[in-house]
A and B are shown apart, each in its own frame.
Chain A
Amino acid sequence: MKQGRGGARGAPAGRTRWSEFAIVALIRVLGFSTVGFVLLIFAFLLREGLPVFFELPASTLLGRLWYPTFGSFGALPLILGSLLVTLLAVLIALPLGVASAVFIREVAPRWAREVLKPLIEVLAGIPSVVLGFFGMSVVAPLVRQWLGAPTGLTAFTGALVLAYMSLPTIISVAEDALDAVPRGYRDAGLAMGATRWQTTWRVVVPAGRSGVIIAGMLGMGRAIGETMAVMMVTGNAARLPLDAAALFKPVRTMTATIAAEMGEVARGGVHYHALFGIGILLFVLTFLINLAAARTILRRRRKGGLR
C-alpha cells in the first residue's frame, strides 16, 4: 500500500500507467459498445422482421388494405400516413423554429434570452402522452369546428402536435447554427449600411443555412419516431392519404400501428413479423434522415464553419 502510493507520487511508474491504461480502455469499450448496441438492435429487428418479406409477396406488403386481424398486410397507407404527418409537422415547425431562434439569438435582450433558453428545454421535457391528451381534448375539437371537418382527429391535428414537439429540437439546433456565424459578418453587414433586419435575414440566416437544414432534419427525425401523441390525435384510420382532402382526414402512422398492435400478436406469427418489418422501415428512414443531417454537418465543418 505504502509502496504503491510512494511510487505514484514519485515518477509515473507502473501503477499510474496501468490505471490510466485501464480507464482509457474502459472509455473506449463504452464508446464502442454504443455502436455495438445499435448494431445489435438492428440485427434483432432484422431477425424478427425479415421473415415477413418471405412470408408475403411485395405486392401484398405495398397493398392498400391494412387489416392484420383478417390477413391483409398492405403497409402503404401506414408509410404514406407517417410521411404525410411528419412532413407537414416540419413544414409548420421549421419557420416557427427558425424565427424563434433568430429572435433569441439576434433580437431578444440578454435577460429574455436567459429566460427563454431554459424554458424551451422544459418544453422538450413535456411527456408526449400529456401533449397527446391535450391534442385529443383541446386541439381536435377546435380543428373540427374551425375547419368543418367531420372529425377533429386528423393528419393536420397530428402535425400540429408533432410540430409543437419538434420545436425545441429545431430551435436549439438553429440557434447554435446562428451562434456559429462569425461576428464579423454582422459587423460587415451593419457597416455596409444595412439595417439590423436586413443584416439578420440576408446575411446571418443565409450564412447559417446548413445549420437550419440540419435543424429541420433533426426535427423530422424526432417527429417520425413519435408514437403516443400521434396515436391519440390522428384517428388511426388506415386509409390511403392520396387525395388533397387527406390532410383533414384521419391517418394511421407506422409508429402508432406498432404500438397499438404489438401487444396482441402471437410471437413468431405473420402479423408479428409484419410489425417488425415496419420497424425495420422506420429504423432505415430515421437512419437516412440522421445520415443526411450528419453529412451536412461534416460538409459545413470542412468549409470552415459556414455554409
Chain B
Amino acid sequence: MGTILRHAIRLPGLAGLAGLAALIGLAACGSGGEGRAEGGVRMQAAAGQPAGERTAVPDPEPSTRAVSVKNIGSDTLVNLALAWAEAYTAAHPQVRISVTGGGSGTGIAALINRTIPLANASRAMSGEEISSARAAGFEPLQHTVALDAIAVVVNPANPVDRLTIPQIADIYTGRIRRWSEVGGQDRPIVLLSRESNSGTYVYFIEQVIRLGRKDNKDLPSPETLLMPSSEGISAEVRQNPNAIGYDGLGYVTADQKVLAVAAGEGRPYVRPEAATVLDGSYPIARPLYMYTAGEPQGAIAGYLSWILGDGQALIQELGFVPLSPGGGGTR
C-alpha cells in the first residue's frame, strides 16, 4: 500500500519541479499553504510542463533557492514524511527536503548533534535527551503532526482475533506461552518486536507491557525476536502461524490479521481504525511528533505549518490518523 502511494506521489513531485516556471508565483506565496495553491500545483503537475521552460525564466530570489532540509527519524513516520516532503516540494520548489528513517532515537540524536534541523519521532523525547539538547545549546520543541495506532497482528491462519491488553502483556513477558491459553490452537507463541532503537518499541513496553504504570518494571521476555525493520515483522507474521507482532497501523499489510484490542477484561474489543483512534476508543494509539531545535525558522516554519494545515489531507491515505476529523486540521 505504502509503496504504491509513494510512487503516485513522486510523479507530481518530479513534474512539479520541471514546471518550475509556472510555479514561481505560488512559490513566492511562501508557506501560506492555501488549499487553492495546493490544487493549482497538482493541476500543473498533471499537465507536465516541459523541462526546457525552466531556463527561460529568471531566478526570482537567488538567496532563497535550494534551501535543503534534512529530516531524519522514526521509521513509523518515514513514509508519511516522504509523502509530505514530495507534495510540499512540488508546491515549493525552492525547498528541498530529504527524508531518512533509522528510528526515533536516530533522528533525535542527529537533532541533538545539530546535523539536522527537523527530527521525526514516534515517542516523546526522554528527559536524558532533553537535557543533552539543552547542553548542546537549544530547547527542543515538540510538534504533534499525526496520530498512529499500534496494531497487534497475527498470522491469518490463527483463530485468535481479539485480546485484552493484560493478555498481550502476559504474552510478551512470557507468562503466557501457548496460543491455547488465550483461546487459540495448541501452538507455541513466537514474540516479535521492533528493535530497541524504535520509538514503537519503547511505547509498546510502556503502554502495553507495563500497562501504562510508572512503577511497573516488566520487560519483554528475552525470547522476543527483535526485528530490524517493519518488513521483518510482516515477513515473519505472514509465514509463521505461531507469531504475534505489533507495528504502526500504517505498516500493516493485508496478509496479516489485525486483532481487536480491549483495555481490560469486560471492556469492549475495538479494532484500530481512524474513527476509533480519533474518538479514543482504541486503547493503543499515540501521537507522532516532529522536533525542531527551538522555534522553527524560515523554510522549516513554513513546512511545519503546511503539515498541520493542508498536509493533514495526506495522512489517511498512508494508514495514519489526522489530528482532527476530515484531515484539514490546524494547529
Which A residues form the contact surface with B (CB < 8 A)? Answer: 64-70, 77, 136-137, 141, 144, 150-153, 231-232, 235-240, 249-250, 252, 260-261, 263-267, 269
Contacts and interface: CB of A to CB of B under 8 A. Distances in A.
Nearest to A231: B228
Contacts of B106: 263-264
Contacts of A151: 190, 225, 236, 240, 242-243
Interface string B232-253: 1001100110110000000000
A264 B103 contact: yes
28 contacts: A64-B222, A68-B196, A69-B196, A69-B201, A69-B205, A70-B205, A70-B219, A77-B222, A150-B189, A151-B236, A151-B240, A231-B228, A232-B228, A232-B232, A235-B225, A237-B222, A237-B223, A238-B226, A252-B226, A261-B195, A263-B103, A263-B105, A263-B109, A264-B197, A265-B105, A265-B109, A266-B132, A267-B113
B224 interface: yes
A269 B132 CA distance: 10
Given A144-B240, A151-B243, A260 B197 contact: yes
Interface of B: 102-103, 105-106, 109, 112-113, 128-129, 132, 187-190, 195-197, 201-202, 205, 219, 222-228, 232, 235-236, 239-240, 242-243
A266 B240 contact: no
Given A68-B196, A151-B240, A264-B196, A237 B225 contact: yes
A252 B232 CA distance: 15
Most-contacted residue by chain B among A64, A235, A261 (CB, 10 A)? A235
B201 A150 contact: no
Nearest to B219: A67
Nearest to A272: B109
B222 A240 contact: yes
A69 B235 contact: no
Given A69-B201, A136-B235, A238-B222, 8 more contacts: A77-B222, A235-B226, A236-B225, A236-B228, A237-B224, A239-B222, A263-B109, A267-B109
Contacts of A252: 226
Nearest to A154: B225
B197 A261 contact: yes
Contacts of B195: 236, 260-261
B196 A150 contact: no
A267 B202 CA distance: 20
* A141, A238, A263: most-surrounded residue (chain B CB, <10 A): A263
Contact of B223 (A69, A239, A265, A266): A239
Given A150-B188, A239-B222, A266-B129, A260 B109 contact: no
Contacts of B227: 236
Nearest to B112: A266
B223 A260 contact: no
A169 B201 CA distance: 39
